[in-house]
Structure 1
Amino acid sequence: MGKSYSYTDIISEYSDALQRIEDLTQAPEDLFLLKPAPNVWSANEIFRHLRRFNNLYLRNIDQIIRDSNRPTSDHSSFEPKLISKVLIRFMEPPYKLKIPTLAPMYPKISSDMGMQEATSDLRETNQMAIDFLEDLRSNQADLNKIKGFHPIFKILPMSLTELFLVMSAHQRRHFWQAEQTLYRLSGTHY
């Protein structure tokens, strides 16, 4: 039997993400916007990429919730299936293998959006995830039984448990990337 997650565990992943956003935005704005190399994203671009992905996941999750009959359960723990566990583990930082980004998920030019707007938008997507989870918990929804498909790989069926956990793992991967980028530029860990 693998690791199971309660609503509190999953909500904590997004609360922790909100704290990580705050930690990383302690960097000066000029550093946050700076690319360490022409082919490397700035911390700002990383945040904008995350916001785009989070919005994609959240639209998908919202549609799945609206289309479901919201099966309920008295048990309070949820477990991802094997393929999602592997995907989550693969994304966990520190990662060794880079995964190419799909063209639509590339951030736009960094100067289009400053640090304040990028971080505000990313905070908003994490708060939306928490709000979805709180609503589902108040209705005793069974996250394992509410199912849909991955928002990009449409042939990959996933439960809400898996979608929320994969989205969170993707964020942790990129928060680590942003931390490494800022450290490379300043020698300071944020």
Structure 2
Amino acid sequence: MNNEISKLVSELEEISGSAKNTFGDLNGEQINWKPSADGWSVGQCFDHLIKANLLFFPELEKIASEKRQSSFLENYSPLSSFFGNLLVKSLQKDGRKFKAPSQAIVPPSEIDAHIVEQFAAHQREVIEQVKSTEKADWQRTIITSPFMKLITYKLADGFRVVVEHERRHFRQAERVLQADGFPK
């Protein structure tokens, strides 16, 4: 396993471990408690991450099979590096709220009480998907965002987006725990 993959796998494992340590003992009421009518619960944060990550899987499977054909936009977009960096930087800033770009990744109101365990299992799948792309050149392989079809970025940036997106919603879930009224 090369250094780039090892670093990414370590980051994903760290997020998974922190999720289990921080949220693993919450009960169903705590998992589903919302700080406000329009705020997300801890469970919704993790459900959203699972759904968002799954949208990357078909592309990663094609890359791993070495049978993937790049689209015209992926071959000729001069802005791929720009979009990747912009997205990563925007995810690192908690002050700005984003609307989920697709209804497919908006979590339902009621989440299974075992969502943190499901997230940990999902992280193992994400790690396997990452490892499966080892033969690809992460800096030269350009992918299209599964959320915004006119945005392309390097595969390496796509993985950075996944990690920063997970970190962002982990921090959001931590804020839910600290909110006034959180059930103890």
TM-score bracket for the superposition, by shorter chain length? 0.7 to 0.9
Q: What's the CA shift for 1:185?
A: 4.5
How many angstroms does 1:40 deviate by?
1.0
Return the offset for 1:145.
2.4
Q: Aligned letter for 2:99?
A: P
> SS at 2:133's partner residue?
helix
Offset, 1:149: 0.8
Match for residue 84 of structure 2?
Answer: 84
Q: Sort the Cα spacing of 1:88 and 1:98 in 2 relative to 1 into closer, same or farther, 3 A.
A: same
Per-residue CA deviation, residues 101-125 of structure 1 (Å, 9 max, x unaligned), is 2333211121xx4221x22332233
**Aligned residue identity for 1:17:** I
Residue 19 of structure 1, aligned match among 17, 20, 28: 17
Does the 8 A contact of 2:88 with 2:164 survive in 1?
yes
1:48 corresponds to which residue?
47
1:77 paired residue number: none
Q: Which amino acid aligns with 1:182?
A: L
Match of 1:101 in 2: 100
Does the residue aligned with 1:148 lie in a helix, a strand or coil?
A: strand
Give the deviation of 1:178 after TM superposition.
0.3
Q: 1:147: Cα distance to partner?
A: 2.6
Provide the C-alpha distance between the structure 1 equivalents of 2:41 and 2:122, rounded to a whole number of angstroms.
20
Counterpart for residue 119 of structure 1: 116
**Structure 1 residue 85: Cα displacement:** 1.6
Letter in 2 for 1:81: S
* Counterparts of 1:65 and 1:146, CA distance in 2: 12
Alpha-carbon distance in structure 1 between the residues aligned to 2:57 and 2:87: 18
Q: 1:179 to 1:142 in 2, by over 3 A?
A: same
The secondary structure found in structure 1 opposite 2:56 is helix
Unmatched tracts of structure 1, length 5 or more? 70-79
Aligned length, in residue pairs: 168
- Aligned to 1:164, the other structure's residue is in SS state helix
Which residue of structure 1 lines up, in the alignment, with residue 77 of structure 2? none
TM-score (norm 2): 0.79
Contact 1:150 1:158 in 2 (8 A): yes
Equivalent residue number for residue 172 of structure 1: 167
The one-letter amino acid of 2:10's match is: S
**Pick from 158, 162, 169: which aligns with 2:157?**
162
Gaps of 5+ in 2: 70-79
Residues 115/24 of structure 1: CA separation in 2 closer, same or farther (3 Å cut)? farther
CA distance in 2, matches of 1:61, 1:133: 8
Aligned residue for 1:115, secondary structure, equals coil
Q: Secondary structure at the match of 1:133?
A: helix
Q: What is the root-mean-square deviation in Å for CA atoms of aligned residues?
A: 2.4
Q: Could you tell me whether the CA contact under 8 Å between 2:83 and 2:151 is conserved in 1?
A: no
